[in-house]
Amino acid sequence: MPPQFLVIGHAVQDLSPGEDAGERATWRLGGTVSYAALLASRLGLRTAVLTAAAPDLRLEEALPGVDVVLAPSNCSTQIRNVYGPHGRVQHIVQQAAPIEAAMLPREFRDAEIVLLGPVTGRVDTGLGECFPRALIGISAQGWLRDIGPDNRVRPVPPERWQADRLLQPGRVLFVSDEDLPEEGVKPVLDAWSARVEVLAFTRAERGAEVCYRSVWRHIDAFPSAAVDPTGAGDVFAAAFLIRYRECGDPWDATRFATCAASYIVESEGLANTPDRAMIEARLREHAGIVAK
């Protein structure tokens, strides 16, 4: 039976600040595939992951109930995140093997919802063409990152992103203010929003700007006791796609996704991934927060 929700990208070992790769390094599971898949599973969807990582990562234990297809790799992707007064600095310590379209199981091609969420590219752009009946979401972040000689993640200027092959089948594009330069962001967003059905521009504690068929609306962030912002954008993307598939209303989906993201920041890692009852409770508590 095909999955209702499929996410493709690299699972990540998020290293503790200051630690390098090695057997004694302390890490927790991360990456778009981890946050999005666990959220989808907790929302009751039949969920699958296509990723590349070393065999000892044991994703089945961390993502219970998720169908994990692991492409062969000699190592897993490892990232060190350091948060400071000027935002996040990332180092890619090592990278798993690329994910190719040929690795996709045949039954996954009938997935209802697909999220493409690379870490730093290394996901075949042709994968978007493999799902003729799916609602496809594109997480731009992984294609807007490059790695410098010191392993530090550097932004890719948006005009350098060759997005044509992805945006043609993709209906929803997710991008955060962390991924784009402050100057000149509006023309970039306007150009991308003209090529997809929905564009969601997430802005952490400043909420999100969402464009649906040329109409822009803003939504405030839901109140939360923020501890760690990692994964908030991934949870937003998964929650938006799921709710949009359910109701067909982009503004309802925006509100649902923003609420879901408010939970994941309240702890480190995947620990506070919400279920549907948690999201609905907070939605009722803050009925005045809507896309305007």
Instruction: Write out pLDDT tens, residues 22-55.
Output: 445 688 899 999 999 999 999 999 999 999 999 8
pTM of the full structure: 0.94
Of 112 and 18, the one with more pLDDT: 112
Per-residue pLDDT at 205: 93
* Structural tokens at position 142: 């992984």
Residue 85 lies in a domain: no
Mean model confidence pLDDT for the chain: 92
The pLDDT, as a whole number, for residue 18 is: 53
d(CA 171, CA 145): 22
- The partner residues of 80 in beta bridges, in order of sequence, read 15, 91
Separation of alpha carbons 113 and 111, rounded Å = 6
Hey, is 261 helix, strand or coil? helix
**What is the distance between the terminal CA atoms of the chain, rounded to a whole angstrom?**
39
Q: How many domains are contained in the chain? A: 1
In a domain, residue 60? The reply is yes
Is the pLDDT at 286 greater than 80, yes or no? yes
State yes or no: pLDDT of 17 exceeds 70. no
Comparing CA positions, the residue from 117, 100, 101 lying closest to residue 33 is 117
Confidence (pLDDT) at 115: 98
Q: Indicate which CATH number applies to the domain containing 167.
A: 3.40.1190.20
Strand ranges (E), 100-191: 113-116, 135-139, 145-147, 153-155, 172-176
Q: Mean pLDDT, to the nearest integer, of 115-137?
A: 95
- Strand 172-176 and strand 198-202: the pairing is parallel
Band the pLDDT of 62: cuts 50, 70, 90. Answer: confident
Residue 80, in any domain of the structure: no
Residue 217 within a domain: yes
Crossing angle for the helix pair 32-42 and 232-247, to the nearest 10 degrees: 40
Phi then psi for residue 94, to 5 deg, are -155, 160
Range of the domain at 198: 5-11+28-71+101-146+154-285
Residue 112, phi then psi, degrees to nearest 5:
-80, -40
Alpha-carbon torsion 61, 62, 65, 70, what sign? Answer: negative
pLDDT computed for residue 44 by the predictor: 97
In 3D space, the residue among 85, 87, 76 whose CA is nearest the CA of residue 14 turns out to be: 76
- What's the CA dihedral at 129, 136, 119, 101 to 10 degrees? -20
Residue 121 is classified by DSSP as: S
pLDDT in tens, 174-230: 999 989 988 889 999 999 999 999 999 999 999 999 999 999 999 999 999 999 888
Residue 242 lies in a domain: yes
Is 250 part of any domain? yes
CA–CA separation, 255 and 253 (whole Å)? 5
Residue 132 lies in a domain: yes
The whole-angstrom separation of Cα 13 and Cα 25 is 10
User: Does 131 have pLDDT greater than 60?
Assistant: yes
Q: What is the structure's pLDDT at 82?
A: 76
Asked whether residue 19 is assigned to any structural domain, the reply reads no
